[in-house]
Amino acid sequence: MSLQRIDRAWAEFFGLPPSDFMRPGVQVVAHRQLADYQGAWLFRHHTSLCVSVPPELVDSTRALVCGGTVESVFGETAIRGLWGPRVERIVGPVYQGYVEPTHFRLAARPGVRALSRGDRAALQQLADACEADAWEHAGIAADEQHVFGCFVDDRLIAAARYRPEWDETAHIGAVTHPAYRGHGHGRAVVSMATAQALDAGFVALYQTLLANAPSVALASRLGYRPYATHLAVRLAPPGPAS
């Protein structure tokens, strides 16, 4: 795997040729992988910024960002200027990282294993113990296929999953019980999820809020490298036509 494979995967996400995806500056595209998302997604990669929006907002957004720079568009003030009162919530900036097999650093430890249907009650207990936002960001569903857990005294205290997505990518999500954070349990489950995703031939991707320094550090210790930062903008439905 190479960085070029990562670039191609993200270009596919936006429905762009790799050369266009890597072009410096701001470009606006209609949702492709985000087809059901009623909002905007701003993806900043080095000197490039892709703004993905619902098809009906492409022309108006392009007109508004015309002549703008990556720095002037990627921020809360610019976002509220683009979509005004329709902006309900801005999530981010979010760290987006990737790891290549040659740079991956395994962090194995006892008590970490794949979860099965018999672990659903334990997984629900972990969900109940975590903050709602933390569980939401982890994105671990009850029927997830590739979930791994860390147990201490027969109690599930951390879980991670990889989820196959577009163009042979796999997204990592993880959460740790609030009472057990800071002791390497999260790193151990993310390590196993990443190892399994890489062994299956996927491009392993990891995202977390950029402000969540421990989570970013966890990724770095496993060999993940920064690729991009992004902002998600939840938009309210348009008002009635005047």
Shared domain check, 206 and 114:
yes
Examine the domain organization and report whether 44 and 69 are in the same domain: yes
Say how many CA atoms lie within 13 Å of 37 toward its Cβ.
14
Residue 136 has pLDDT above 90, yes or no: no
Range of the domain at 199: 104-222
User: pTM for the full model?
Assistant: 0.86
Domain co-membership, 126 together with 29: no
Confidence band (pLDDT; 50, 70, 90) for 1? Answer: low
DSSP 3-state of 111:
coil
What count of Cα atoms within 13 Å lies in the side-chain half-sphere of residue 109?
17
Q: Report the CATH number at residue 116.
A: 3.40.630.30
**Percent of the chain whose predicted confidence (pLDDT) is above 70:** 98
* Residue 37: strand, helix, or coil: coil
Judge if 12 and 58 occupy the same domain: yes
- As a whole number, the mean pLDDT across the chain is 91
| Residue 89 CA: distances (Å) to CA of 30, 39, 85, 225 | 20, 10, 10, 28
49-80 pLDDT, tens digit each: 999 999 999 999 999 998 889 999 999 999 99
Q: Is there a single domain that holds both residue 76 and residue 39?
A: yes
β-strand 169-176 against 203-209: which pairing, if any? parallel
Does residue 142 sit in the same domain as residue 177? yes
Residues 204 and 154 in one domain: yes
Over residues 211-241, the pLDDT tens digits come to 889 889 999 999 999 999 999 999 998 766 5
As for how many domains the chain has, the answer is 2
Express each pLDDT in 9-47 by its tens digit: 899 999 999 999 999 999 999 999 898 899 999 999 989
- 241, part of any domain: no
Cβ proximity of 235 and 124 under 8 Å? no
Question: Do residue 70 and residue 116 come from a single domain?
Answer: no
- What order do you get walking across the sheet with 39-45 strand by strand? 25-30, 48-53, 39-45, 225-235, 87-99, 203-209, 169-176, 155-164, 147-152, 112-114
